[in-house]
Structure 1
Amino acid sequence: MVVGQLYRQVRDQFRKAQLSTPELDARLLVGAGLGLALSDLLLKEDEQVTAADAARVMAFAEQRLEGMPVGRILGEREFYGRTFHLNEATLEPRPDTETLIEAVLERCDRTEASMMCDIGTGTGAIAVTLLSELPMSQMIAVDLSERALVCAQENARLHHVDARFWPVCADYVSALREGLDWVISNPPYIRTAALSTLSTEVVQHDPILALDGGEDGLKAYGEIVTGAKKLLRPGGWIALEIGFDQASDLKKQLRHHGFGAIEIIKDLSGNDRVVVARGT
């Protein structure tokens, strides 16, 4: 069997199973199984595949057909052009969260030093990405899960920002002090009753701690917004990822706690995705 045949075999299995992105999933898994960059799959499609390599790829394909996401199979996920390792305590970074990154970067001067915090850091994707893009800044990365923080530290080292990355095991903002320039978070915001409606891939492979936002989906926001008002220096910023129907509630919370310059930013699908506001 040659590379091209193997790819088409896996792709066709994924199409038959009606996976949402069969071609992409097949490319990623075949490339990883053969140790090839995605750009090499076409260039080397006529090269022979060893029996051991083919078996590895088919094992990956079987896991995908059983409902395991590609990122979980490979133990890593791409985010904002960088690779992030995953473990069982971390949520897979989603492309929608890149809207949060852009919102923060548009309001930062890359030549200035900012003290930031990322609440519920998980893989550290938000924290590490911002540190990579803002070379003068420092980040406090908070998570209730020690296992998640281990993963986040690994990713900080991988991208050479660990000297400016400060992991803290705590609940929301309880361990933080005043003087922050930014409070940033992609908190759990799914209503508890709605968890059962999520795809099997999400429910079985993402940690519930990173998904369950309580009865109304707003529990984490109340904690973060209340704490941010005390922690931010005058003129400091808060940036939060939100569910598509939560903008109105978050605006009310932010106004109640004295935040101004409130903006709601949509993702590429046109859904409300990020709220940004400034302290007074």
Structure 2
Amino acid sequence: MRAAELLADGIARLRAAGLDGAAGDARVLLAYALDIPRDRLTLAMGDDVSTPAQHRFQTAITARAAYRPVAQIIGRRAFFGRDFAVTPDVLDPRPDTETLIEAALEQPFSRLLDLGTGSGAIALTLLAERPDAQAVAVDLSQPALKVAARNAKALGLSSRVTFLRSDWFGAVGGVFDLIVSNPPYIGVPELADLSRDVRDYEPRMALVPTDDDGSGLAAYRVICAQAQNYLRPGGWLRVEIGYRQGAAVQALFTEAGFDHVSLRKDLSGHARVVSGQAPLGQSPSEL
């Protein structure tokens, strides 16, 4: 069977399963099955596909038709120009989160803390963009930390990042120029509205905060209450938020005493990042 015929069959199966973006997903999965870069796929459309590659593609299409995320099937996801390993133990890094990267890069920093690092995509991207910086990245999930360490090694960043198993700030010491986080922010009542890709396959602890009261704000309350104890004067806290949470999270920043609290929208025009600066002239121990 030629690649073009295989691709058409895959697209038809994904459309029959009710998946949006069936054509794009099928192309990614075919490139994966053929073990070629995606930008070379068009050149391979007239080629005969080996039996093992056909089987690999059909297996991948079956998984995607069951709504398994593409990144979990192929084991990686592109984020801010780099590839990151992805497993069911971590959130799939998404383009929306690149808004947090862009915000973080607006100010200089030499020492950063990433709370709830997951795949490590945020901390490692920031280190790659700032070659002189060092990072501490924490997560409560040991399997997630293993994925993050694997990504650090692949990117040549292992010597500049320390991974810790920690419940937010529990095992963290020291002071940072920048604290970033993409914490769990889905309220339990919202779970039913999530796409099956997310609801059925991504780790629940990375989606729904502990002790959620339905608002999805529990993690932000913890982070805002403690962050200034770990920020140098003038340091920044920046967090990703759900698109309906802008006003509520900004209020938490203000109540915690942050200055210059602001909201940044993503490319779709949705509220995505809240930032605040630790007051100048005070040491963390005085806050």
* Short-chain TM bin: over 0.9
- Matched residue type, 2:34: L
* CA distance in 2: counterparts of 1:187 and 1:258, whole angstroms: 20
Which deviates further from its counterpart, 77-86 or 144-153?
77-86
Which position in structure 1 is the counterpart of 2:284?
A: none
CA positional deviation for 1:31: 0.4
Which position in structure 1 is the counterpart of 2:234?
A: 235
SS in 2 for 1:123: coil
With the length of structure 2 as denominator, give the TM-score of the two structures: 0.93
SS in 2 for 1:234: strand
**Structure 1 alignment gaps of length 5 or more:** none
Aligned length: 276
Whether contact under 8 Å (1:178, 1:233) holds in the other structure is no
CA positional deviation for 1:64: 0.8
Q: Deviations over 1:149-207 (max 9, x none)?
A: 00000001111111101101010012222421011000000112222222222111101
Q: How does 1:11-30 map to 2 (within 5 A)?
A: 11-30=11-30
* CA distance in 1: counterparts of 2:118 and 2:180, whole angstroms: 13
Identity of aligned residues (%): 38
Q: How does 1:39-188 map to 2 (within 5 A)?
A: 39-108=39-108, 114-188=110-184
* CA distance in 1: counterparts of 2:22 and 2:192, whole angstroms: 25
With the length of structure 1 as denominator, give the TM-score of the two structures: 0.95
Residue 224 in structure 1 maps to residue 223 in structure 2: yes
- Matched residue type, 1:209: M
* CA distance in 1: counterparts of 2:17 and 2:255, whole angstroms: 49
* CA distance in 2: counterparts of 1:30 and 1:231, whole angstroms: 46
Q: Deviations over 1:35-84 (max 9, x none)?
A: 11112111121111112211111111111111111111112111111111
SS in 2 for 1:47: coil
Whether contact under 8 Å (2:91, 2:118) holds in the other structure is yes
Q: Deviations over 1:82-107 (max 9, x none)?
A: 11112232111111101000111122
CA RMSD, aligned part only?
A: 1.2
Which deviates further from its counterpart, 181-190 or 63-72?
63-72
SS in 1 for 2:167: coil
CA positional deviation for 1:277: 0.9
CA positional deviation for 1:132: 0.6
Whether contact under 8 Å (1:76, 1:83) holds in the other structure is yes
CA positional deviation for 1:33: 0.5
CA positional deviation for 1:16: 3.2
- Matched residue type, 2:257: G
* CA distance in 2: counterparts of 1:143 and 1:128, whole angstroms: 14
Whether contact under 8 Å (2:166, 2:172) holds in the other structure is no
Whether contact under 8 Å (1:187, 1:241) holds in the other structure is yes
Q: Deviations over 1:93-142 (max 9, x none)?
A: 1111010001111223xxxx611000000000101111111101011000
* CA distance in 1: counterparts of 2:116 and 2:17, whole angstroms: 34
**Structure 2 alignment gaps of length 5 or more:** 280-287
Change (3 A) 1:226 1:178: farther
* CA distance in 2: counterparts of 1:87 and 1:22, whole angstroms: 21
- Matched residue type, 2:115: I
Which deviates further from its counterpart, 65-74 or 24-33?
65-74
